[in-house]
Amino acid sequence: MAKLKTVLEASSCHTLDRDNFRAQRDKCGVEEGKEWNEAVEALFKVKYHAWVQDTKVRDCVMEVFDDSPVNQLRKTST
């Protein structure tokens, strides 16, 4: 939770974007970097703790789930 706190305290994004790490990656947030990466990874590990224990399952979950660190780094189409 300390990683998430760091990201949210540095954010100037709208309050509705608190749970949107793509928005936090923008100029209003902490932008993409060490703090952002650590927060996304930590939140994902906590949220999907039971599923990320096995390497094969973790790799699949990382590719499929939208809030995985891998998918959070992908550019969105606008």
Q: pLDDT tens digit string along 21-31?
A: 888 888 888 87
| 19-78 pLDDT tens trace | 788 888 888 888 778 888 888 888 898 889 988 888 899 999 999 998 888 888 886 654
pLDDT the model gives residue 17: 83
Q: How many CA atoms, within 13 angstroms, populate the side-chain half-sphere of residue 22? A: 12
pLDDT reported for residue 1 = 78
Residue with tokens 């923008």: 26
The domain segmentation of the chain, as residue ranges, is 2-72
Six-digit token pair at 20?
Answer: 């949107």
Write down the number of H helices and E strands in the chain. 5, 0
Residue 2: which pLDDT band, with cuts at 50, 70 and 90? confident
